[in-house]
Amino acid sequence: RDERIKKTKTVCTYCGVGCSFDVWTKDRKILKVEPQAEAPANGISTCVKGKFGWDFVNSEDRLTKPLIREGDTFREAEWEEALNLVERKFTEIKSEYGPDSLAFITSSKCTNEESYLMQKLARGVIGTNNVDNCSRYCQSPATVGLFRTVGYGGDSGTIKDIEKAGLVLIVGSNTSESHPVLSTRVKRSHKLRGQKLIVADIRKHEMAERADLFVHPKAGSDMVWLSAVTKYIIDKGWTDHDFIQQRVNGFEKYKKSLEPFTLEYAEEATGITRENLIKIAEAIHEAEGTCVLWAMGVTQHIGGSDTSTAISNLLLVTGNYCKPGAGSYPLRGHNNVQGASDFGSMPDRLPGYERIADEKVRAKYEKGWGVKIPEKPGMNNHEMIEGIHAGVLKAMYVKGEEMGLVDSNINHVHAAYEKLDFFVVQDIFFSATAQYADVVLPASPSFEKEGTFTNTERRIQRLYQVFDPLGESKPDWQIIMEVANRLGAGWNYGHPSEIMEEAASLSPIYAGVRYDRLEGYNTLQWPVNADGTDQPLLFADGTFPLPDGKAILYPVQWSKPIDFGDEYDIHVNNGRLLEHFHEGNLTYRSKGISMKTPEIWLEVSPELAEERGIKDGTLVRLTSPYGNVKVKTLVTDRVQGNEVYLPMNDSGEAAVNLLTSSFSDKDTDTPAYKETMAKMEIL
């Protein structure tokens, strides 16, 4: 065999399903991707992105040297010069305005170890809790809903456990395009094992078409129908009485809070018929276990945390926790959005979700790191943008996050970037965000480094280095360490395993996570005990990580969708396409994908098309109070009435966040991307 041909185990860097596979290479050429039958998340397949989405690694557009701004342009620089500049500016800004004038964003495409180091840099070296990651843009509301009710924010069980459910209820998730391999498991159990499937969504995507029952609630009304179904179940006496008695607090108060949510009220508020509401309640009652899968259709609203809470409440009253084939599955978007939060890149939590406000927790980290940690929670990424506009935040360090395209209301975000005194962007490409930077540091993608990722089911997996870093690019963990050391940190990590060792020594939920336990295709699902035993199924012993071991039924109220006024009469739903990932920085640079889907389109309903004289390919402009996009249309009955669907996969004239607002979930500041209204004109 040609000795230059080698096989390396890695983990997909697209969605949160976290498929593992071997990648076959010859020199820097990628020959094939080969999923292994025993791979934990995916079995024997990948989706199109996992299979063909890797050309970007060798793209000519890769950054291979640091860049320094000179006026309106950039020039290449040596690492020494670029890092000297970062050191000098961070030091000056900290000394003039204090540590809270700096902010740090980690990437949910980077490894756990890199996210750990980014928050350690912010807290332990700079002295600020201004650190966040992109879970703020997606699943933070789900985490809050689960923290409130069951104590852990992760998926209740494994992806395979979903197959054991009698009923899968999918709410606001385009699962077959956003989490393709996971959806394959659901499709298989639905078709072959008689598993019931109910889908609630405003768009008739593939899972909706396959469902036994598909309901189309009015946009932003999920909390209402979920509460009405729960009330109906309670009124019928279909609750799991023993489960509630032994394992749940707050039933009477919660029951009272449901009084307004009658079937009549829900029918009016959501548009779901009384008959269908009853059918959903009956299906849950009759099923041997219900799993609820949800995503951004639930969370990206002003009441996203409350709707997530309502889901968990429903599961609690019906006893759908503590067993396989039941529970909460908030599907994580990016490959490592779970890990970025797990490892402490949040303004109010240290690794393992321990609270920064807890003196004992801070004392533990202060002892471990040998530094003082600030007590005051920091700014989240939404507050950072407002902080820049307010003149409070002066410098930012954004690692691997295309914040300038994926944050909402990007005209407002870009205006903020222009006000920064100093902006460092670390990425593999000269991204839209990098255009506003003062220094751009060239990083290496997953194929060029070692580390671990944590997927949606809390599964920690190792990735191995396939190629050497391209040009002078470096793994993010090395760059962060160099920045930290210039600021006096004295870190000396020789390998990511040493970073993990440190994180595991400080955070109870990773106590037993070690690289030798993660060799090859071995995995661990947190929480992991010191002896290496893990918990694929959360709450398996019937207790919850809450004060008396019991879950909590948490009353919530409905936040009605934002009223943008009659002028804006088109509801702009938005989300993923199967082939592309977010702004498309990776997938448009992967030939096998960009050839198949070179551009996006706006889905318009047949009735709206007829009313406005729109055909396939008509160029339209959508204008919201915040900006406008130009895009061609596709007429399809996947959408209804004045609801259109704009994929998020464009970085130019059709970039969806030119339209979205700065409104956000009231509990987490997750942008209310799904509450976007616009007016439409034909061009």
Residues that bind ligand SF4 (CB under 6 A): 12, 14-15, 17-19, 42, 46-47, 49-50, 180-181
Element (H, E) at 529: none
**Smallest distance, ligand SF4 to C-beta of residue 654, A:** 22
The type of residue at 464 is Y
Report which of 647, 519, 537 is spatially closest to residue 584, judged by C-alpha positions: 647
Which residues touch 579 (CB under 8 Å, ≥6 apart)?
A: 48, 49, 587, 593, 596, 597
Structure tokens at 109: 């495409």
Residue 12 or 489 with smaller CB distance to ligand SF4:
12
Vertex 371 angle, CA 365 and 377, to 5°: 65
Residue showing tokens 């209301």: 409
Residue 412 or 582 with smaller CB distance to ligand SF4:
582
The type of residue at 374 is P
**Smallest distance, ligand SF4 to C-beta of residue 180, A:** 4
Residue 24 or 265 with smaller CB distance to ligand SF4:
24
SS3 283: helix
The CA distance from 551 to 539, in Å, is 10
**Smallest distance, ligand SF4 to C-beta of residue 626, A:** 30
Residue 18 or 145 with smaller CB distance to ligand SF4:
18
Contact assessment for residue 263 and residue 274, using Cβ atoms and an 8 Å cutoff: yes
Contact assessment for residue 168 and residue 184, using Cβ atoms and an 8 Å cutoff: no
The type of residue at 188 is R
The CA distance from 570 to 572, in Å, is 6
Q: Up-side HSE of residue 237: CA atoms within 13 Å toward CB?
A: 0
Length of the chain: 683
**Smallest distance, ligand SF4 to C-beta of residue 511, A:** 27
Q: What is the largest distance, in Å, between two alpha-carbon atoms of the chain?
A: 71
**Smallest distance, ligand SF4 to C-beta of residue 593, A:** 11
**Smallest distance, ligand SF4 to C-beta of residue 139, A:** 15
CA distances from 409 to 298, 560, 573, 624, 651 (A): 19, 21, 15, 10, 13
Residue 109 or 231 with smaller CB distance to ligand SF4:
109
Residue showing tokens 């059918």: 279
Which position's Cβ is nearest ligand SF4? 50
**Smallest distance, ligand SF4 to C-beta of residue 112, A:** 16
**Smallest distance, ligand SF4 to C-beta of residue 589, A:** 16
Residue 42 or 454 with smaller CB distance to ligand SF4:
42
**Smallest distance, ligand SF4 to C-beta of residue 53, A:** 7
Residue 128 or 175 with smaller CB distance to ligand SF4:
175
Residue 94 or 190 with smaller CB distance to ligand SF4:
190
Q: Where do the H-state alpha helices sit in 318-378? A: 337-342, 359-369
Residue 43 or 66 with smaller CB distance to ligand SF4:
43
**Smallest distance, ligand SF4 to C-beta of residue 217, A:** 27
CA distances from 151 to 155, 207, 320, 456, 553 (A): 12, 30, 15, 17, 12
Contact assessment for residue 233 and residue 287, using Cβ atoms and an 8 Å cutoff: no
Which residues touch 575 (CB under 8 Å, ≥6 apart)?
A: 174, 177, 178, 203, 296, 297, 645, 647, 648
Residue 120 or 449 with smaller CB distance to ligand SF4:
449
